[in-house]
Structure 1
Amino acid sequence: MNPAQRNRTAALLKASGYEDSPALTVQSTDGEIPHGRELSFAWLTGTVMTGLTSVLLMGAALYVSFKGQDTFSTAYEALQIVAPQPDTVTGIKAKTHRMRPVAQTRSELEIVEASIRESVDGRDMIRKQPFVRIRATLATAATALSDDVPAYDPVAILDSNAPIEGADSGLAANTQIYGADVEGEVSIRLAALPATLVPPRLISDRSAAEFARATVENLFGEGDYEALAYADTGQRLRELDTPRDGQLAGVVENVTAVPKTTTAEDAGLGRTERILTMRERTPLADTLSRNGFTPQMVAAVSATLRNILPTLDMPSGARLRILFGPSRVADSLIPYRLSIYFHDNAANIDKHAATVALTDRGSYVLGLAPPDIEFPEEDTEEINVNNLPSVYRSIWETARKHDVDDATTSRIVAMFAYDIDLTRKIAPGDSIEILQTAPNAEGRKDLLYVALKLGSTTREFYRFRTNDGTVDFFDTEGQTGKRFLTRRPVEGGGRLSSRYGYRVHPIFKTRRLHSGIDLAAPRNTPIYAAGDGVVERAQWVSGYGRYVELRHVNGFETAYGHMNKIADGMKPGTRVRQGQIVGYVGSTGNSTGNHLHFEIKVNGRTVDPLSVKLPRDKSLPASAEQAFEQTVAQIKDLMQRDPAPVTVAAIMGQNSRS
């Protein structure tokens, strides 16, 4: 730049307001009068720190908003760092949220006793025998108790429901109830009455005539003697529409429980609270292990509470509030917070004793009490419809809570697998009843009876030993729960992606009948024969792709379409057995993804595989009906008896109703 250009540039800068000033300095002044060119390290540091703090706070807020509250510190809400304030409901909250329903939970494990008659070395003996009875509502949330249960697999269920073979299989499950109660053991010997023995009359001719006279006189209003003649004189009849205890009798119909509208991101598991009451003195560890606490969690909670509680045995009347929330590593709920309350008999109030809460690091620390509530008389649990497990997992969760061994649970599941879609969610109030023998020397308990109530339908199965020594379970009509066809013949059961009925075809976009069900599964997942039968076709069929058709007895047929591969040996005339692999899942033919198209035909017409009534696999012969009816009556008697005056702890090592 030449001098002329430099002067012109300087003039332009000066005209714009710029001036030639001293450089920036870290000195507080430059000469006697400051020129505004000082640089303050304190100001610069404060500005940078303020910016960094703002960025961190904004980032944390955005992280919580996008990822959800369960990935943030659960200790904040659980520990209640700030004193709890009264809940206030805004107009927006009142419109977008609804109160969660609270359901009473029933969890009874009782010992019932009965006098049993059995034959020992040719002699009839009568002795008192205990039985274990369980009555419980099905679990409405899946916890760590059922994290490792076997995956739902219809073929594996077939193996679990096989009859119990062996001549001695029914000895440990004797239900021959004697009419009177006995103490200890009584030996019975039967002998014929001597021919000379004449039993005395219980009613004389004179007393009979007096009874007849008094009855006749009473019918015509004479005398003060009253007898039952034609109708009950008591007020024991009731009109059907008469309210009971202020409530109208009847069953609510056409009601469906659905979650509130949420975004797809928020439609996962939610929080729920369970309230338990100790019916008698109970070790805390026992109750926690039956309510979703893993052994590691129980150890951590116990170590924390030992610092403030004199004992970890919960007294009778103690209350537990357990807050559950979603796990980050499993499809189940884990305990976020545990609060313990002891009952003050003098003041008749429940006083808060301790609270422990889960932190982000997986440890349990002491916290403040949650907001006060009014404790109910019975055990309760909040119902979050997003948390409701499948029928399959709920049965496992409930069984493990009551110490039912896994082999017995597998058999229970198998009994109902042919009539019930075990993959659907349960409804609040569904329940189960189980009757077992007391554990023997090896700790084994034999299953005698199981009843599953889903909605308004109850299904029952009774243990019965047939004349050939085989033990199986039959319903009240003498039929097993087995069907000769399975409804979801794919490994793992598959995911129901399309039902039977009219629909808009996903490829042709026209409304037409979907003649089967679609069970989505990964490519090459094994497909099994739904029942014993003969191969009719095993070839490529237009639209169905690779296709297998089986013919069964009594006019039943099954078809399997869109296979990726047909199993070796499948050709017309080949006999197959139930559970044998006939092919592998694929997407051949007119298909939009890997799935099995499964059809059932009856006399050449397609029916809905999920709802068609299928014939039973086995029924009791007519010769066994009387013995079976007697067994049913005896088991019903055990289910209706009052529990024995023996604590569960004395028999089972478990003394908590919870």
Structure 2
Amino acid sequence: MNAAHRKRHAAQLRSSGFEDGPALTVQSTDGDIPHGRELSFAWLAGTVVTGLTSVLLMGAALYIAFEGRDTFSTPYRALHISAPAEAGLTPTDISSKSERARPVTQTRSELEVIEAGIRELIDGRAIIRNQPFIRLRATLATAATALSEDVPAYDPVAILNATQPIEAAQAAGEGNTDIYGADVEGEVAVRLAAMPMTFAPPAAIDDALAGEFVRLTLESAYSDIDAPVLAYAASGPTIRELGEAEEGSLVTGVAENVTVMPKTTRLDEAQLGRTERIFTVKERSPLTDVMRRNGFNDVEIKAISATLKNVFTRDLRPGERLRILLGPANNGTTLSPYRMSIYAHDSETDVDLHAVTVALTDKGQYVVSMAPPEMEFPEEDTEEVNVANLPSIYRSIWETGRKHDLSDETITRIIGMFAYDLDMTKRIAPGDAIEILKTAPDAEGRQDLLYVALTLGSTKRELYRFVTPDGVADFYDPSGETGKRFLVRRPLEGGGTLRSRFGYRIHPIFKSRKLHTGVDLAARTGTPIYAAGDGVVQLVGWQSGYGNKIEVQHVNGYETAYGHMSRFADGIKPGTRVRQGQIIGYVGSTGYSTGPHLHFEILINGNLVDPLSVKLPRENSLADQYRSQFGQVVAQINDLMQKDPAPVAVAASE
């Protein structure tokens, strides 16, 4: 570097704020504040000591604030808990209400035994006797636990087999249950005989007066005076009169096939979070049974029982409360119990007493722990609502059914009966509920499912069991139609994952706004695709952007189309007659596609419709000659659903 360049470089440094100065020195005056480029080891040591002292003081303050706890639990040896006789109870002040970051919803869980008189034929004689029925009313589970961890994957087509009509020989009963409204003492024999003429009631009015009554009634019905009209005549203004009374008014009807749903994230996008469940014990029960019904698996139950063996060994009593904190399990798809507290309620002082708490440590072990933060217990059982924890309708029904000891076969049938009307992959909402009525087990342990009602939002769907004279039992809604549809809305194994709905969208390949003529259901390449309903194959081959495509013609102007297949099933060609649930091809990504999926379309009289929301016709209806008898069955079951439970046979479940 030459002299001119060095001068120019020095000038640039000076203009940037740099200046020549002496080096740093440790020769500062002892005891004085160091200045400029002086360093003092004494002052440096003092600064470091001050910083360390501040950190220690702050750590001590936090330790005291958290009562020395660095996890959910504290080792038993550090608590010095003494267990008083029998219960080991210590009073807990619940005067202050704890803060809750999430909304809380009431839960309902009632498994009751009711009795009613039924009429049955025994050796040609009609006998009326009491028979118990089991009635369940419960809110659908808002969190998935170990109870439903091993349920089969949702497969809408496989459910077809579970919804087939039941042969009477397979059921516990041979026909419809003939229920009388009142209970009977013992057994009452019924004998039919002709009614003597002397039993006819005396005439209360003669023919002349009856004729005059009819004449006056007809005259008043057609006169211009303000007189009573026929019972079936309209009593209010007509639509025409309403329109004339208010010019420009619009009288609207009820919009069908429209569902308003809150926008939520997809199930696979949300992370599970913690939630707290509080419920009251209805009857004396072993703690292990109660834990099993609330999502504890066998390993957890064994670990907790071993932890409590020297602290809490008795059964749970009526009125006692359990407070369970649930959090994400290791598998990431279910909730696992993090903490469980038991409280006893003193009815005389109206105080809940903390008995014991067990909690999960960071090492994955359950230990006896300190009581959780105090709270005011509500009158009803409750559970925190964590949106990330809300399961699908399918998973929630499984969770609720197993919680109340329903057999897997019964749960599968219940899901199958509603799968035609509902998208079982949608999340439930807090407050959604299920009601079930079934017969008590017979000598062989078999039961008949008589009634199922599913309430989702403001819509209640009811299905009643009815046996036709040919001995076949099926389930019908109050209007006498089955819950089955003649087309399946998601015709592939597992139902697929909805990636794109029907309607206008930005095309993923052409980046322009186009009408999406069906729904895209993503699945692995090679996943079986089924015929949505019985029909005749019209097209098998390559078609423009659809790639490998199949079209099936159904009855009454219905058509279905299946696109982007990797290959067709053997034997599928134009003219082939297929049945609902038959494999016709396999998922692929042929044609204009960004990944393996099924593009599924439904056409009605040549017009494209939304496969997931269009109102589809029922597969079959009850014959007219059975409607009267079916109406009696509906009325009898409705009476049982309103009937008070048996006073000595309540079997409420937690």
TM range (shorter): 0.7 to 0.9
1:241-264 alpha-carbon deviations (Å, 9 max, x no partner): xxxxxxxxxxxx9783758x9xx9
- Pick from 551, 560, 563 the counterpart of residue 561 of structure 1: 563
User: In the aligned structure 1, how far is the partner of 2:169 from the partner of 2:443?
Assistant: 20
Instruction: Specify the SS of the correspondent of 1:411.
Output: helix
The answer for the alignment partner of 2:255 in structure 1 is none
1:550-596 alpha-carbon deviations (Å, 9 max, x no partner): 00000000000001111111111111111111111110000000000
| Percent of residue pairs bearing the same amino acid type | 62
User: In the aligned structure 1, how far is the partner of 2:134 from the partner of 2:384?
Assistant: 29
The answer for the alignment partner of 2:534 in structure 1 is 532
The answer for the alignment partner of 1:402 in structure 2 is 404
Letter in 2 for 1:154: P
Letter in 2 for 1:256: P
User: In the aligned structure 1, how far is the partner of 2:594 from the partner of 2:309?
Assistant: 60
The answer for the alignment partner of 1:449 in structure 2 is 451
Q: Indicate if the aligned counterparts of 2:73 and 2:367 stay in contact, CA closer than 8 A.
A: no
- Between the two proteins, the alignment pairs up a number of residues equal to 529
Name structure 2 gaps, 5 residues minimum. Answer: 1-22, 25-51, 60-68, 80-91, 207-227, 230-258
Instruction: Specify the SS of the correspondent of 2:416.
Output: helix
Deviation (angstroms), 1:203? 8.3
1:505-537 alpha-carbon deviations (Å, 9 max, x no partner): 000011010000000000111101001111100
Instruction: Specify the SS of the correspondent of 1:468.
Output: coil
The answer for the alignment partner of 1:600 in structure 2 is 602
Letter in 1 for 2:288: A
Q: Indicate if the aligned counterparts of 1:169 and 1:469 stay in contact, CA closer than 8 A.
A: no
User: In the aligned structure 2, how far is the partner of 1:503 from the partner of 1:199?
Assistant: 75
1:338-390 alpha-carbon deviations (Å, 9 max, x no partner): 00111123432111110001124433110000100000011000000000000
The answer for the alignment partner of 2:282 in structure 1 is 279
Q: Indicate if the aligned counterparts of 1:116 and 1:129 stay in contact, CA closer than 8 A.
A: yes
Q: How is 1:113-124 mapped onto 2 (pairs within 5 angstroms)?
A: 113-124=115-126
Q: Which structure exhibits the higher relative contact order, with contacts defined as CA atoms closer than 8 Å and separated by 6 or more residues?
A: 2
User: In the aligned structure 1, how far is the partner of 2:429 from the partner of 2:598?
Assistant: 28
Q: Do the aligned partners of residues 464 and 600 (structure 1) sit closer, same or farther apart at CA in structure 2, a change above 3 Å counting?
A: same
Letter in 2 for 1:287: V
User: In the aligned structure 2, how far is the partner of 1:333 from the partner of 1:183?
Assistant: 48
User: In the aligned structure 2, how far is the partner of 1:200 from the partner of 1:145?
Assistant: 62
The answer for the alignment partner of 1:77 in structure 2 is 72
Is 555-564 or 353-362 further displaced after alignment? Answer: 353-362
Q: Do the aligned partners of residues 573 and 521 (structure 1) sit closer, same or farther apart at CA in structure 2, a change above 3 Å counting?
A: same
Q: How is 1:250-289 mapped onto 2 (pairs within 5 angstroms)?
A: 256=262, 267-289=270-292
The answer for the alignment partner of 1:657 in structure 2 is 653
Q: Indicate if the aligned counterparts of 1:80 and 1:368 stay in contact, CA closer than 8 A.
A: no
Letter in 1 for 2:183: D
Q: Indicate if the aligned counterparts of 2:404 and 2:653 stay in contact, CA closer than 8 A.
A: no
1:341 aligns with 2:343: yes
Q: Do the aligned partners of residues 498 and 274 (structure 1) sit closer, same or farther apart at CA in structure 2, a change above 3 Å counting?
A: same
The answer for the alignment partner of 2:105 in structure 1 is 103
RMSD (CA atoms): 3.3
User: In the aligned structure 2, how far is the partner of 1:516 from the partner of 1:204?
Assistant: 68
Deviation (angstroms), 1:78? 4.0
Is 158-167 or 463-472 further displaced after alignment? Answer: 158-167
Q: How is 1:540-619 mapped onto 2 (pairs within 5 angstroms)?
A: 540-619=542-621
Instruction: Specify the SS of the correspondent of 1:77.
Output: coil
User: In the aligned structure 2, how far is the partner of 1:527 from the partner of 1:75?
Assistant: 53
Is 463-472 or 183-192 further displaced after alignment? Answer: 183-192
Q: Indicate if the aligned counterparts of 1:483 and 1:615 stay in contact, CA closer than 8 A.
A: yes
Q: Do the aligned partners of residues 637 and 656 (structure 1) sit closer, same or farther apart at CA in structure 2, a change above 3 Å counting?
A: closer
1:293 aligns with 2:296: yes
Deviation (angstroms), 1:330? 4.6
Q: Do the aligned partners of residues 293 and 98 (structure 1) sit closer, same or farther apart at CA in structure 2, a change above 3 Å counting?
A: closer
Instruction: Specify the SS of the correspondent of 2:555.
Output: coil
User: In the aligned structure 2, how far is the partner of 1:277 from the partner of 1:203?
Assistant: 59
Name structure 1 gaps, 5 residues minimum. Answer: 1-15, 18-49, 58-73, 89-96, 206-228, 231-252, 649-654
Q: Indicate if the aligned counterparts of 1:75 and 1:359 stay in contact, CA closer than 8 A.
A: no
Q: Do the aligned partners of residues 169 and 202 (structure 1) sit closer, same or farther apart at CA in structure 2, a change above 3 Å counting?
A: farther
User: In the aligned structure 2, how far is the partner of 1:78 from the partner of 1:431?
Assistant: 35
The answer for the alignment partner of 2:15 in structure 1 is none
Q: Do the aligned partners of residues 98 and 338 (structure 1) sit closer, same or farther apart at CA in structure 2, a change above 3 Å counting?
A: closer
Deviation (angstroms), 1:80? 9.7
1:164 aligns with 2:166: yes
The answer for the alignment partner of 1:129 in structure 2 is 131
- Pick from 595, 620, 623 the counterpart of residue 621 of structure 1: 623
The answer for the alignment partner of 2:14 in structure 1 is none
Deviation (angstroms), 1:280? 2.8
Q: Indicate if the aligned counterparts of 1:547 and 1:561 stay in contact, CA closer than 8 A.
A: yes
Q: Indicate if the aligned counterparts of 2:148 and 2:395 stay in contact, CA closer than 8 A.
A: yes
The answer for the alignment partner of 2:470 in structure 1 is 468
The answer for the alignment partner of 2:413 in structure 1 is 411
Q: Indicate if the aligned counterparts of 2:116 and 2:181 stay in contact, CA closer than 8 A.
A: no
Letter in 1 for 2:617: P
Give the structure-2-normalised TM-score: 0.76
- Pick from 313, 321, 342 the counterpart of residue 315 of structure 2: 313
1:95-146 alpha-carbon deviations (Å, 9 max, x no partner): xx98311000000000111000011111100000000000000000000000
Letter in 1 for 2:277: R
Q: Do the aligned partners of residues 185 and 607 (structure 1) sit closer, same or farther apart at CA in structure 2, a change above 3 Å counting?
A: same
Q: Do the aligned partners of residues 637 and 158 (structure 1) sit closer, same or farther apart at CA in structure 2, a change above 3 Å counting?
A: same
Instruction: Specify the SS of the correspondent of 2:300.
Output: helix
Instruction: Specify the SS of the correspondent of 1:154.
Output: coil
Q: Do the aligned partners of residues 275 and 80 (structure 1) sit closer, same or farther apart at CA in structure 2, a change above 3 Å counting?
A: farther
1:635 aligns with 2:637: yes
The answer for the alignment partner of 1:425 in structure 2 is 427
Q: Indicate if the aligned counterparts of 1:275 and 1:380 stay in contact, CA closer than 8 A.
A: yes
Deviation (angstroms), 1:161? 0.3
The answer for the alignment partner of 1:502 in structure 2 is 504
1:18-62 alpha-carbon deviations (Å, 9 max, x no partner): xxxxxxxxxxxxxxxxxxxxxxxxxxxxxxxx9xxx9xx9xxxxx
Deviation (angstroms), 1:279? 2.2
1:57-81 alpha-carbon deviations (Å, 9 max, x no partner): 9xxxxxxxxxxxxxxxx98034499
1:406-443 alpha-carbon deviations (Å, 9 max, x no partner): 10110000011010000010011100000000011222
User: In the aligned structure 2, how far is the partner of 1:100 from the partner of 1:256?
Assistant: 18
Q: Indicate if the aligned counterparts of 1:103 and 1:382 stay in contact, CA closer than 8 A.
A: yes
Q: Indicate if the aligned counterparts of 2:172 and 2:447 stay in contact, CA closer than 8 A.
A: no
The answer for the alignment partner of 2:250 in structure 1 is none
